[in-house]
Amino acid sequence: MDPTPARPQLKFPVWLTVVLSTFAVLFILGAVFGKSAPSPQPVAAPAAPPSTTPVTTSATPAPVTYTVGKITDAANVELTGSDGSHRTVHILGLEVATGNNCYASETVVWANNKLAGAAVKITTDTTDGVALSLSDGSDYATAALSAGYARLAGNVVSDSLRNAANSAQQAAAGLWAEPCKGMITAPTPVLVPAPPKETPAPPPPPRTSEQAAPPPVEDAPEPEQPSSAYYKNCAAAKAAGAAPLHRGDPGYRPGLDRDGDGVACER
């Protein structure tokens, strides 16, 4: 047998066990059914005061319009822009007569009536020239070509301009008519008028039965036959005592009758 004596076991009092059990139950119930503490709400930042700086918006600039000033010729003009600019431009697609060349004066008059002081817009702008739109929306170069006041430039690829030039040429309009016939690099040729045609005389009206027949043509007198007498001159006829000689007398001949009155060597 073990000589070591056994320790006595400790026992909790009943009332302490009941109290501890009660606290344990309450703790568990509180953990399950209790409300969680409210989480803190974020505080909104104060609103910024409205800005007093005006907001600017970029506006599209208005297109520049031009007014035609000086007209050098139908293909070269000076323009004054609505923005105060000044330009001298060449009209694309046009070749026109200038100076004293054929159809130059007619072309200048037409261009002045069409462009002087007119408001135009530049629809094409290149280093070689510009295209102008008139106030009615029509293209100036097309109008000049279709009316026959310009020829088409060789470097043009526009179908509308080519069609306008071909129509004027086929219709012989403007410079394509006489006397220029499309020539604008030389003076107007001088046309020689054709001689008037002779009008044939109308045939005589037919002779009716009531009209008298024309009188018969009398036979012409037979020429005088030379006589056997011959006088070299009037002196010879006077020496022979035959002067004066009358037509039909022996020795009379027209060579001795200077005045042709039928009497020779009368003086």
Above 60 in pLDDT, residue 44? no
Say what the pLDDT of residue 1 is: 45
> 166 is written with which tokens?
């071909």
Check if the beta carbon of residue 97 is closer than 8 Å to that of residue 151. no
Q: Is 34 within a domain?
A: no
Domain count, the chain: 2
Q: What is the pLDDT of residue 89?
A: 94
- Whether 253 is covered by a domain: the verdict is yes
**Considering the domain boundaries, does residue 106 fall inside one?**
yes
Average pLDDT (124-138) is 92
Q: How far apart are CA 110 and CA 19, in angstroms?
A: 125
**Which residue has better confidence, 179 or 43?**
179
Q: Look at 259 and 9; give whichever has higher pLDDT.
A: 259
Same domain, 75 and 145: yes
First CA to last CA distance, the chain: 234
Alpha-carbon distance values, 219 to 216, 222, 237 (Å): 9, 9, 33
pLDDT in tens, 223-243: 444 446 787 788 888 888 777
- pLDDT score for 24: 78
Q: Which residues contact 236 (CB under 8 A, 6 or more apart)?
A: none
In a domain, 107, yes or no: yes
Task: Judge whether 222 lies within some domain.
Answer: no
Pick from 140, 157, 176: which residue ends a domain?
A: 176
Rounded CA-CA distance 88/76 in Å is 7
Q: Which two tokens stand for residue 161?
A: 């301009």
What pTM does this model have? 0.51
144 vs 224, which has greater pLDDT? Answer: 144
Domain of 172, in residue numbers:
66-176
Q: In CATH, what number is assigned to the domain containing residue 123?
A: 2.40.50.90
Among 157, 176, 195, residue at a domain's last position: 176
Asked whether residue 168 is domain-assigned, the answer is yes
Question: 225 lies in a domain?
Answer: no
Same domain, 79 and 169: yes
In the predicted structure, residue 164 carries a pLDDT above the cut 60: yes
- 165 and 238 inside one domain: no
Task: Assess if residue 214 is contained within a domain.
Answer: no
Last residue of a domain, one of 141, 158, 176: 176
Tokens 């505080």 identify what position?
Answer: 43
